[in-house]
Amino acid sequence: MTITVGHDSSKTRRSLTVGGSTIAYYSIPAAEEAGLGAFSKLPAALKVVLENMLRFEDGKTVTSDDIKAFSAWAENGGKGNRELSYRPARVLMQDFTGVPAVVDLAAMRDGIKALGGDPQKINPLNPVDLVIDHSVMIDEFGNPRAFQMNVDREYERNMERYEFLKWGQSAFNNFRVVPPGTGICHQVNLEYLAQTVWTDVDQSGEEVAYPDTLVGTDSHTTMVNGAAVLGWGVGGIEAEAAMLGQPISMLIPEVVGFKLTGEMVEGTTGTDLVLKVVEMLREKGVVGKFVEFYGPGLDNLPLAQRATIANMAPEYGATCGFFPVDDETLRYMRQTGRDEDRIALVEAYAKANGMWRGPDYDPVYTDTLGLDMTTVVPAISGPKRPQDFIALDKAATTFGEYIGGLRSAEDASEKAEVRWEGEGGQPEPQDIPGDNGNHKRGYVVTDEGHYQMHDGSIVIASITSCTNTSNPYVMIGAGLVARKAHALGLTRKPWVKTSLAPGSQVVSQYLEAAGLQDDLDAIGFNLVGYGCTTCIGNSGPLDPEISKAINDYDLVATSVLSGNRNFEGRISPDVRANYLASPPLVVAYALVGDMNVDITTAPLGQDRDGNDVYLKDIWPTNKEIAELVEKTVTREAFQSKYADVFKGDEKWQAVEVNGGETYDWPPQSTYIQNPPYFQGMGTEPGKIENIEGARELLVLGDMVTTDHISPAGSFATTSPAGQYLLERQVQPREFNSYGSRRGNHEIMMRGTFANIRIRNEMLDGVEGGYTKGPDGEQTSVFDAAMAYQEQGTPLVVFGGEQYGAGSSRDWAAKGTALLGVKAVIAESFERIHRSNLVGMGVIPFEFTGGDTRKTLGLTGDETVSIKGLDTIKPLAEVPCEITFADGTKKEITLKCRIDTAIEIEYIEHGGVLHYVLRNLAKS
C-alpha cells in the first residue's frame, strides 16, 4: 500500500541515515525549530500522537493549531482539551470481534451498491490483521489427546465462520488472517507483527519511517505498548471506520506517569507486580488517560513483564499503559527474531525524534505515582474484579470473609449435604480448612470414587491468556513448580479441571526444549489449544457430576486462572468466584484444590513417603528460572514458529472459499446473517430528535461490564438465543457460544443484557436477563424490548459508575441499539463503551448535581423525556423530565457524553458506519 500524507514537508520532514540507507521521517525537533512550539518535555507516548499530527497536517483535518496544542499541553502541566483527528497505522482483530466487523464490511458493500456507489470503495485502506484465537474451547483436558480433540471440535463448530473469514481475506485488500491454532492476537502482535517503527512509501514514492501505531477490536490491544507501540482497544465499529480511512476523533489525553524503582525480589513474579499496579491505578483513577511507565526500575524489568502490565490497561481503566523505547526494547526485538536493520532503525529513529528512554528521561506528566518493586509481595486478585488485590498470605482468610458475607443470612441447620448413594453408607463430612461455619458442602460420586465438594473447591485451574503466557519467566516458573511437585508424587486434585493454553506456539517450543512439558502433563496441565480459552469464558464444561453438585446445592465453586478478567459469569456458568494468579500459583492451587487453604503455610499435599509438602518446597528460585529462560527462549524458536504464520495447518488449508466481490448470504446459516443496519438507508442523514415518553428497559448498578451487557460464553436452551436455535433445529451440543455467533444479529440481540449474573434493579433479587414488559410482568429483556418496539415506545437504560467496563465489545453497543434503546444514563462510562454507543447512534448521558438512580428511587415504572437534543453541542447539559408512576414529575440535568463535533455527525447519521458509507457513496 501507499500512505498518503498531507503535510508541507519543507517544515518538519527530515532524513535519517541508518546502516547506509536513507529514509524520510517527520521530525519533532524540526517542528520546534519551525516555531510550532516546545515539545522536548512531552512524554514519549504523546510524542507518538504529535508525530501523527505532523505527518497528516493538511490545514483541514489536522492544522498547525493542533500541533501547537501539544506545546500548550506541556506548558499547562499536562492538561489540554483540543480535539484531534488521529490516524493509526494499522488495525488488529480477533475472530469474535473480527467476524462481525467483516460482516459489517460485507453489508456495507451491499449498502453502497444500493446507494449507487462502487463496492470496491469498501476496502481497508490500512493493513488489517485478524488472528483467529477466540474459538477453541476446552472440551477435552488432562490427557495427550486434548489438543487434537479440541482443534477438531473447533473446526466442527466454526466452519461457517472460517469459510466466511477466508472469503473476506480473498475479497478485501490489506486484510490478512492468521489461522486457528497459531496463538492469541496480542501475543502474535507482540512477538511478530509489531515493528515499533513502521515504514512505508508515500505518494511521492519516498520511503517514510514513523511510529508503529494501531487500534484493535479487543481491549487488550494495549499489550503491545510494552514494546513502545502505541495501541489501544476500540469497538469493531470504530475499527471499521479507521480501516476505511476515517480518522479517530480524540482529545489530547492526560498522561499519568508511573515511576518504577527497585527490582522484583525472590519469590515474586511479574503477575504479582501487575496485580499491584492494577490496584494502585484503579484507586488513582485513570479512565480515559494514558499511563506511561518510567524510572530506574525499568532497567530491571524484562519486556515480557512490561507487556503484562501494558496488557492489563483496561483493568486499571487507562486508554493505554506505555513503555518508551530503550535498550530492553532492542534486546527483545532481537530475541524474537526481528530483522537487524529494523532494530537499528528503531534505535536511530527513537533517539532522533526524542522518544528514547535514557537515564535523563524526565518528561512533564499530568500527575504521577510510584512503586518500589522491592515491596511487591505474592498475590492473587478476586473474586470478581481484577483490581481486588489480595496478598497471598491473606487469600484464604479473605475468601472465608467473602463466603461469610454470602452465607450469613442462611441458617446453619439448612446447610445442604449431597445424598450419598454408594455402598457402605455415607461418609462423615470432613472439616473444611478455614471453615468459618458459613460453608455449604456435599459429595460427588464418579466412576473413580467419591470426594467432598464445598464452598471454595477449585474446579478450574487454567494457565491461559496472552497476559501471562507471553512471559517466559512465569511460564518456565510454572513448569518448574510442576517438575518439583511431580518428583515428590503430587498431582492435581480430581475435581480440578486443569489446562494449558499458551498464547503462541513458541511457548510450547521452549517448554519442550526445557523438558518441562512432560512434568506439566504429569499433573494434568496438558496442552489444550493455542487461544484465549478460559480467559474469555471458553473453559468448556465441567464433569457432569461436579456441575450437578455445584448447582443442586448452591456451592460457591472457584477458579484460578492466569488471565486478566474475572468478572461474574465470565469464566464458567458453574463458577461464582474467580481469582487471577501467576502461572506458578495456578499450578500450586491445582495441587491443593481449595481456596480455603492458606498455601503459604499449610501443606499442599503429601509426598510418596507421607511427608507434608509445602509451597516453599516446590517454588523455584529466580536464578533457576532465569537460567532456563536464557537457555531455551531463543531467537531461532521465534523465527521457526513464525516462518509460515499465515499458512495454517491442513485443516485451514482445506477450508473452501465461496463468493466474489459481495457476499452471498446463506439464508440457512445460524452464524452469519446480513445485519439490518444499512437496509433502506437514504443518501442524507437525519436530525437528532428529543426523546419523548421513553420507558426503562433496565436499571443497573455499578461496574456493569460489557460481559454483563453482551456475554461471550455459553447459553441455555431456555434463553431467547437458545430458543431461537432450537426453532431452527440446532441441537444444544451445537450451540457453541455467544462470542462465536457474533456474525448473527438475531442471536446477539437475544443475548444482550442476558448474562446469568446481571441484576436488574427493577426486579427484586432476580439474577439474569429479565425485566418488566409493557404489562408490568417479568419477562426476558429481549421479549420486553420487542413488545415496546411494536408499540413504538423508545427505551432508556439507567446505570451506575463505570458503566461498560471491560472488553471492547461492540455487540454491547450494537445489541443495545437493536433492542431500541435510544439513551443510556449512568454515573460514569468506561471509554470504549461510550465511544461504541455513539458509534451505534445511542446517546450516552451522565447524571449531574448528585443525582443517581438511587437518589431518584427508580423502580422501572417511570417514563423519561430528554430535551435539547435537536440543538445539542458536545458535552452540553440538557434537561431530563422523569414522570413517576403516581404522576409526579421531577426535572434533572444530564451531561450529554457526545464528546466531539464529529460525534454529533455520527449520531445524526445513525452511527459512524452510516456516516462513512454515505460519504464513500458520494465520493
Same-domain pairing of 355 and 475? no
Residue 625 domain-assigned (yes or no): yes
Residue 259 has phi, psi (to 5 degrees) of -90, 125
pLDDT at residue 754 above 80?
Answer: yes
Question: What pLDDT score does 362 carry?
Answer: 94
Residue 170 domain-assigned (yes or no): yes
Question: What pLDDT score does 406 carry?
Answer: 82
313-322, 356-365, 444-453, 478-487: lowest mean pLDDT where? 444-453
Question: What is the residue-averaged pLDDT of the chain?
Answer: 92
122-131, 447-456, 740-749: lowest mean pLDDT where? 447-456
Question: What pLDDT score does 52 carry?
Answer: 97
pLDDT band with cut points at 50, 70 and 90 for residue 441:
confident
Same-domain pairing of 391 and 409? yes
Q: pLDDT of 76-115, one tens digit each? A: 999 998 989 999 999 999 998 888 899 999 999 999 999 9
pLDDT band with cut points at 50, 70 and 90 for residue 660:
confident
Same-domain pairing of 21 and 104? no
With 0-12 / 13-18 / 19 or more C-beta atoms within 10 angstroms meaning exposed / middle / buried, residue 900 is middle
pLDDT band with cut points at 50, 70 and 90 for residue 415:
very low
d(CA 222, CA 278): 14
pLDDT band with cut points at 50, 70 and 90 for residue 436:
low
Residue 466 domain-assigned (yes or no): yes
Question: What pLDDT score does 9 carry?
Answer: 57
Q: Phi/psi class of residue 420: alpha, beta or left (left: φ > 0; alpha: ψ in -120 to 50)? A: beta
Average pLDDT of the residues in 653-677: 90
Average pLDDT of the residues in 625-629: 96
| CATH number where 262 lies | 3.30.499.10
pLDDT at residue 67 above 70?
Answer: yes
Report which secondary-structure segment, H or E, holds 650.
helix 650-653
d(CA 696, CA 771): 9
Domain stop point among 41, 73, 105: 73
Place of cell 486462572: 561
More confident residue, 118 or 204: 118
Same-domain pairing of 219 and 300? yes
Question: What pLDDT score does 451 carry?
Answer: 85
| DSSP 8-state assignment for residue 277 | H
d(CA 644, CA 394): 47
Average pLDDT of the residues in 188-216: 95
CB atoms within 10 A of CB 367: 16
Sheet (strand 230-233) strand order: 175-178, 128-131, 90-94, 213-216, 230-233
Same-domain pairing of 576 and 601? yes
Domain stop point among 43, 73, 103: 73
Question: What pLDDT score does 567 carry?
Answer: 84
Q: pLDDT of 799-837, one tens digit each? A: 999 999 877 788 999 999 999 999 999 999 988 899 999
Question: What pLDDT score does 418 carry?
Answer: 40
Same-domain pairing of 355 and 399? no
Domain stop point among 621, 637, 653: 637
Residue type present at position 801? E
Same-domain pairing of 542 and 632? yes
pLDDT band with cut points at 50, 70 and 90 for residue 435:
low
Residue 78 domain-assigned (yes or no): no
Cis ω on the peptide bond leading into residue 179 (within 30° of 0)? Answer: no
Residue 696 domain-assigned (yes or no): yes
What would the DSSP string read from start to end of 767-795? BSSEEE-TTS-EEEHHHHHHHHHHHT--E
| CATH number where 778 lies | 3.20.19.10
CB atoms within 10 A of CB 486: 17
d(CA 461, CA 584): 11
| DSSP 8-state assignment for residue 134 | S
Question: What pLDDT score does 900 carry?
Answer: 87
pLDDT band with cut points at 50, 70 and 90 for residue 318:
very high
pLDDT band with cut points at 50, 70 and 90 for residue 417:
very low
Same-domain pairing of 347 and 476? no
pLDDT band with cut points at 50, 70 and 90 for residue 419:
very low
Same-domain pairing of 329 and 386? no
Domain count, the chain: 4
pLDDT band with cut points at 50, 70 and 90 for residue 408:
confident
Question: What pLDDT score does 422 carry?
Answer: 41
Same-domain pairing of 51 and 64? yes
Same-domain pairing of 327 and 417? no
For the chain, percent helix, then strand, then coil, each to nearest 5? 40, 20, 40
What percent of the chain is predicted at pLDDT more than 90?
Answer: 80
Same-domain pairing of 788 and 820? yes
Residue 684 domain-assigned (yes or no): no
Question: What pLDDT score does 410 carry?
Answer: 53
d(CA 833, CA 810): 8
Quote the domain boundaries for residue 42. 2-73
Residue 254 domain-assigned (yes or no): yes
Q: Where are the alpha helices (DSSP H) in 800-911?
A: 810-818, 831-839, 853-856, 901-909
Residue 277 domain-assigned (yes or no): yes
